[in-house]
Amino acid sequence: MSNIAEVYYPPSAGVGIWALQPGQLTDGLAHAALAIMTSAYEHQFEGPHTVTNLPHGAVKGHFRPDDSASIRAQRERMALSMEGGSTYWFAVVHGLGTKAVQGLNPIGLAKTSPSRPRHWRHQAAEEPNLYLNDIAVFPAMQLQGVATSLVHAATKYSDHDPGAHLVLDNIVGSPAGPWFRQLGLRPRRLTRVAPFEIGDQSIPQVRMQTRGGHLGGFIVGLEDRYPRLTTNISIVVSRSESMPLEKG
């Protein structure tokens, strides 16, 4: 679990990257996570212009972001992941929107998880690892540096070993693939990866990993490519009074 509460990136549309701390998880944040993933994945995966050509409504039917039982289940999944050492990172804009949660307007999401040795040996990845997944940004906020800020904060300000490899799974043919390659990630050709399941659709994925370097080198390369990531940022160290909490 990161000891950073928030990293604020003024050059990136005034976006802050907030590390969800134990005790701050609410139904409102679980709903925000579902809403972000639903909107982002609809934009990426539904319709004839996408690589997966999912039918309209498939993503929303899978995540059911406005269903109370689905929200409770998402909150339980997030709590269990956090107990196992994962961190959820929300891209937020302070005080905007009528659906603000805990004084924040969540617009993006990412999740980091520690290496699990038996699992990674089975998947033939080098250890140790930092696994990055659930990267999603509302379509209206895409192409503004939000995802880059999420990846930067989630890797640099996590408490994971800088000698770890960064690992993620990417949809085969996804537009994000070239961007991940630009960041220094390469596919592991011989690695078996479970497909991404949306309803009754199984979408193939490929595992990508830092190549010829580790997490520390990845972060340096990311900052060299995007200098704004180190320009006029501010960091809030985690403390119980750092964020207003919502009951529920």
3-state secondary structure 9-31: ECCCCCEEEEECCCCCCCHHHHH
Alpha-carbon distance of 50 to 109, in angstroms, equals 21
pLDDT at 49 over 80: yes
Query: Which domain CATH number covers 44?
Result: 3.40.630
**Rounded mean pLDDT, 174-178:** 86
pLDDT score of 114: 82
Residue with tokens 């993620």, as numbered in its chain: 168
Number of domains in the chain: 1
In a domain, 193, yes or no: no
In a domain, 246, yes or no: no
In a domain, 183, yes or no: no
Q: Which domain holds residue 142?
A: 4-161+214-237
Whole-model pTM?
0.85
pLDDT at 81 over 80: yes
Please indicate whether residue 3 or residue 169 has the higher confidence score (pLDDT): 169
pLDDT score of 108: 94
Tens of pLDDT along 14-30? 688 989 987 889 999 99
> Residue 95 corresponds to which tokens in the numbers above?
């005080």
In a domain, 34, yes or no: yes
DSSP for 89-139 reads EEEEEET-STT-BTTEEEEEEEEEEE--HHHHHHTT--SSEEEEEEEEE-G
The mean pLDDT of the chain is: 81
In a domain, 99, yes or no: yes
In a domain, 167, yes or no: no
C-beta separation of 79 from 220 below 8 A? no
In a domain, 57, yes or no: yes
- By CB neighbour count within 10 A (0-12 exposed, 13-18 middle, 19+ buried), where does 14 fall? exposed
Rounded to a whole number of angstroms, the distance between the first and last alpha carbons of the chain is 22
In a domain, 182, yes or no: no
Q: Which of 97, 105, 100, 78 is nearest to 21 (CA)?
A: 78
Predicted confidence band of residue 245 (pLDDT cuts 50, 70, 90):
very low
Alpha-carbon distance of 221 to 148, in angstroms, equals 12
